[in-house]
Chain A
Amino acid sequence: DGGITQSPKYLFRKEGQNVTLSCEQNLNHDAMYWYRQDPGQGLRLIYYSQIVNDFQKGDIAEGYSVSREKKESFPLTVTSAQKNPTAFYLCASSEGQGPGDTQYFGPGTRLTVL
Chain B
Amino acid sequence: DAKTTQPNSMESNEEEPVHLPCNHSTISGTDYIHWYRQLPSQGPEYVIHGLTSNVNNRMASLAIAEDRKSSTLILHRATLRDAAVYYCISSLAPFGAGTTVTVRA
Q: Which of A22-57 contact B (CB under 8 A)?
A: 35, 40-45
For the complex, is A106 an interface residue (Cβ under 8 Å from B)? yes
Which of A40, A59, A105, A110 is in CB contact (< 8 Å) with B45? A105
Determine the chain A residues whose CB is within 8 A of the CB of B87 once the complex forms.
Answer: 42-43
For the complex, is B7 an interface residue (Cβ under 8 Å from A)? no
Bound Cα distance A40, B97 (Å): 7
Q: Which of B54-105 contact A (CB under 8 A)?
A: 87, 91-92, 94-98
Known: A105-B44, A106-B43. A99 touches B92 (CB 8 A): yes
For the complex, is A63 an interface residue (Cβ under 8 Å from B)? no
Who on chain B is nearest to A100 by CB? B32
B85 to chain A, nearest CB (A): 9
For the complex, is A18 an interface residue (Cβ under 8 Å from B)? no
Are B43 and A99 closer than 8 Å at their CB atoms?
A: no
Where chain B touches its partner, the secondary structure class is loop
**Interface range, A side:** 20 to 34
For the complex, is A65 an interface residue (Cβ under 8 Å from B)? no
Residue-by-residue, is B42-53 near A (CB-CB < 8 Å gives 1, otherwise 0)? 111110010100
Who on chain B is nearest to A44 by CB? B94
Interface centre among B44, B87, B94, B96 (most CB of A within 10 A): B44
**Can you list 15 A-B contacts (CB < 8 A)?**
A40-B97, A41-B97, A42-B95, A42-B98, A43-B87, A43-B95, A90-B44, A100-B32, A100-B49, A100-B51, A102-B34, A104-B46, A105-B44, A107-B43, A108-B41
Q: A90-B44, A105-B45, A107-B43 are in contact. List 13 more A-B contacts (CB 8 A).
A: A35-B95, A40-B97, A41-B97, A42-B95, A43-B87, A44-B94, A92-B43, A97-B92, A99-B31, A100-B91, A102-B34, A103-B34, A108-B42
